[in-house]
Amino acid sequence: MKILLPPSETKREGGSGAPLDAASLSLPALTSRRLAVLDALTALAEDEEAAQRVLKLSPRQRGDIAHNRNLRAAPTMPAVDRYTGVLYDALDAESLSAASRRWLGSHVWIHSAPLGPIGALDSLPMYRLAAGTSLPGVAPLRRHWDAATTAAIDEEAPSFVLDLRSEAYVALGSIPATVPSAYVKVVTEHGRALNHFNKKSKGLLVRALADDRPRIDSLRQFRGWAQRHNLLFREGDTQGVLEFVVEG
């Protein structure tokens, strides 16, 4: 099983890892696409006025442009530790055991805007780029990533994908039809979609999986695991959608 997570706009600064090596990341078929975005993002950062406009930054956020300018030389940390926010605070990967962190590294991809899906333990520098941005020098990110990401996942051939991404990141790479998958929506018992609890519930779900480290190769096995842990999942109204029912 692979789990696909969205990234977060909020990130932890710093890091002690070596600078980014795009060729060492998970899904290496995406390396050339990654390098193209990195080139465009660092080039844009040389013009702060243009970067602020393209990235839609407030004056208070202009410091993020320096992170983009320094992408190739900046220190890194594991992606799952770099991201903060509701989902990643609930996951709290830093407090997991070494075995559980290794499980995350083997089973979780985080879908970043500049690099596409990367492994949870892949090294990541600070950056600023949202899914809907159009960078000078490359196609709009949706067109740049979608088919290439789908092909890379198809090449990886996971037995089953649990898709916990937001819609903005689903648009950057569909799961291939050849790979069994389920897209998770967090809802109340009466079917109302949730926002804050959506992210928190997904983070807690991934933490529970990492703590337990199950072997799951199908939707049936995932639902069996969830049932044993008193987590309610039901078929959604749309084919391929799985509703995660929580209180809210």
CA separation for the pair 195, 85 (Å, rounded): 13
> Over 90: is that where the pLDDT of 106 sits?
yes
CA angle 22, 28, 32 (to 5 degrees): 60
pLDDT for residue 197: 83
Residue 110 contacts residue 173 (beta carbons within 8 Å): no
Exposure b/e, 36-63, CB count within 10 A at least 16 = b? bbbebbbbbbeeeeebbebbebeeeeee
pLDDT, tens digit (0-9, with 9 covering 90-100), for 122-166: 999 999 999 999 999 999 999 999 999 999 999 999 999 999 999
pLDDT, tens digit (0-9, with 9 covering 90-100), for 10-59: 999 999 999 999 999 999 999 999 999 999 999 999 999 999 999 999 99
Average pLDDT for 86-92? 97
> Over 70: is that where the pLDDT of 191 sits?
no
Q: How confident is the model at residue 190 (pLDDT cuts 50, 70, 90)?
A: confident
pLDDT for residue 237: 85
Please say whether the dihedral angle defined by the alpha carbons of residues 156, 135, 164 and 184, taken in this order, is positive or negative: negative
Which of 90-99, 161-170, 190-199, 222-231 has the weakest average pLDDT? 190-199
CA separation for the pair 11, 80 (Å, rounded): 10
* Structural domain total, the chain: 1
- Tell which residue, 120, 116, 194, 128, has the closest CA to residue 155: 116
Where do we find the tokens 């960078």? 135
> Over 90: is that where the pLDDT of 196 sits?
no
Residue 80 contacts residue 104 (beta carbons within 8 Å): yes
Residue 144 contacts residue 32 (beta carbons within 8 Å): no
- Tell which residue, 137, 139, 244, has the closest CA to residue 182: 244
Query: What's the domain range around 222?
Result: 2-245
pLDDT, tens digit (0-9, with 9 covering 90-100), for 209-244: 999 999 999 999 999 999 999 999 999 988 999 999
Average pLDDT for 168-182? 97
Please say whether the dihedral angle defined by the alpha carbons of residues 198, 86, 28 and 132, taken in this order, is positive or negative: positive
Please say whether the dihedral angle defined by the alpha carbons of residues 123, 129, 132 and 134, taken in this order, is positive or negative: negative
CA separation for the pair 197, 188 (Å, rounded): 10
pLDDT for residue 206: 98
